[in-house]
Amino acid sequence: MSTTFPPPSIKESPFATDVREGLSAVPKSLSSKYFYDDAGSRIFQQIMELPEYYPTRAEMEILTRQPADIAAALPYRKPFNIIELGAGDGLKTKELLKYLVGQQADFTYMPIDISGEAMQQLEGKLAETLPGLKVKTLVGDYFEVLNNLDSDGRPNLYLFLGGNIGNYEKDGAINLLRMIRNVMQADGRLLTGFDLRKNPRIIQEAYDDAAGVTRAFNLNLLTRMNRELGADFFLDQFDFYSFYNPRNGEVRSMLVSLSEQDVYFKSLNQSVHFQKNELIHTELSKKYTLTEIDALAAESGFVVERNFFDSQHYFTDSLWQCD
Ligand code: AVJ
């Protein structure tokens, strides 16, 4: 065996490429998908416990109180699959699965996630708490997994819960939904979680909590770049700012450079210059109206069959069929 120094080409990680591109763009931006390293996932768990952060509790209420209505709205009287995009810890989905297992529904649960470790943990937890459930975990990118999926000729219910759709700009949301539409048969269904418009103060506070957990969640992106890309960000040289615009339903989150400064990235062999008060856009969290949900369904080749709401109408799990 022979070893060449230096290696002919060191392939850059997707994170490195996205950071290089995002921080050379005007305005600067980083994708919110990079929030979720191990530390970021733990901070997100804390966000979900915050008194101000209502979406998790609202969707949990829907799936805990209305599993029978959701099940009754599905057209399946024969074996089917439940395919979940971005299953994460699967805590909310478990409520729906628990109900279906109790009804002796004949189905296989297929969670998809990019993290193999998350899928192993979920599989272990489900084997313990719902031993009757058939589980087949799928690790990889949504697009690749969905396009190579063998659903055994069974109808599929796709789940995209948690309001993750809110992180996508309009074109990105339509692309993702059309991709699901393209792999779906006529008897397929899609259940997507949408955070809804509500009193602007409630939304504003959910993304700018008093304890500063959301702030830490955003600043963790700088820690991640320091660790994984050898950057030298000083965290006290950046502030966090987020605001809700009730006219278009967009929460925008960002980091603000507190001084004119250069940050060096060892693994990119490159510096990034920041003006004082220059922004790094980190996240969109879009809040929808029911009219916007209807329009988004139509633009992606679906129709809304039924919306399931929590008691305050803060959130909806929207059941779609092909148009
Ligand atoms: C996990 C995408 C639904 O946008 O509300 C929470 C992430 N960001 N607080 C959201 C998040 C700031 C969350 N989602």
Distance of CA 267 to the CA centre of its chain: 28
pLDDT over 60 at 80, yes or no: yes
Residue 322 three-state SS: strand
Name the residue with the closest Cα to ligand 1, atom 5.
Answer: 285
Task: Specify the pLDDT at position 5.
Answer: 55
pLDDT at 39 over 70: yes
Predicted confidence (pLDDT) per residue in 86-135, tens digit: 877 777 899 999 999 999 999 999 999 888 888 899 999 999 999 999 99
Taking 70 as the threshold, does the pLDDT of residue 271 lie above it? yes
Using pLDDT thresholds of 50, 70 and 90, give the confidence band for residue 11.
confident
Name the DSSP letter for residue 239. Answer: E
Q: How many CB atoms lie within 10 A of CB 310?
A: 22
CA of 75 to the centre of ligand 1 (A): 31
Tell me the two tokens of residue 294.
């209807």
106, 76 contact by CB (below 8 A): no
Which whole number is the average pLDDT over 269-292?
98
Which of 114 and 28 is assigned the larger pLDDT? Answer: 28
283, 284, 287: which to mutate for ligand 1, most atoms within 8 A of CB? 283
Residue 199 in contact with residue 46, Cβ under 8 Å? no
Mean pLDDT of 164-175: 97
The pLDDT score that the predictor gives to residue 141 is 87
Helix (H, G, I), strand (E, B) or coil at 172: helix
Can you give the pLDDT at residue 9? 58
How many C-alpha atoms does 188 have within 13 Å on its Cβ side? 19
Q: What DSSP element (H or E) covers 39?
A: helix 38-49
**What atom of ligand 1 comes closest to residue 162's alpha carbon?**
3
How many residues in total does the chain contain?
323
Which residues does residue 112 pair with via DSSP β-bridges, in sequence order?
A: 85, 138
Q: pLDDT (tens digit, 9 = 90+) per residue, 131-158? A: 999 999 999 888 899 999 887 789 999 9
Q: To the nearest whole percent, how much of the chain has pLDDT over 90?
A: 85
311: CA distance to ligand 1 center in Å? Answer: 21
Q: Is the CB of 162 under 6 A from ligand 1?
A: yes
For residue 55 and ligand 1, the question of a CB distance below 6 A is answered with yes
Q: How far is the CA of 231 from the centre of ligand 1 (A)?
A: 25
Question: From the CB of 47, is ligand 1 less than 6 Å away?
Answer: yes
Q: What is the pLDDT of residues 173-230, one digit of tens each?
A: 999 999 999 999 999 999 999 999 999 999 999 999 999 999 999 999 999 999 999 9
How much is the mean pLDDT over the chain? Answer: 94
pLDDT at 302 > cutoff 90: yes
What is the distance between the alpha carbons of residues 104 and 95, in angstroms, rounded to a whole number? 15
How far is it, in rounded angstroms, from Cα 197 to Cα 287? 5
10 pLDDT more than 70? no
Identify the pLDDT of residue 91: 77
User: Which residues is 113 bridged to in the sheet?
Assistant: 139
Whether the per-residue pLDDT at 44 is higher than 90: the answer is: yes
How much helix, strand and coil, in percent to the nearest 5, is found in the chain?
40, 25, 30
Percentage of the chain lying above the pLDDT 70 cut: 97
Q: Regarding beta strands 250-257 and 279-286, do their DSSP bridges make them parallel or antiparallel, or are they unpaired?
A: antiparallel
pLDDT at 284 over 80: yes
Span from the CA of 285 to the centroid of ligand 1 (angstroms) = 7
Specify the residue with its C-alpha closest to ligand 1, atom 14.
164
Average pLDDT, integer, range 31-48:
93
Residue 87, pLDDT score: 78
β-sheet bridge partners, residue 36:
none
Give the residue, out of 241, 243, 285, with the most ligand 1 atoms within 8 A of its beta carbon, to mutate for a pocket test.
285
How far apart (Å, rounded) are the C-alpha atoms in residues 265 and 263? 7
Q: Select from 33, 43, 167, 217 the residue to mutate for testing ligand 1; criterion: most ligand atoms less than 8 Å from CB.
A: 167
C-beta neighbour count of 260 within 10 angstroms: 11
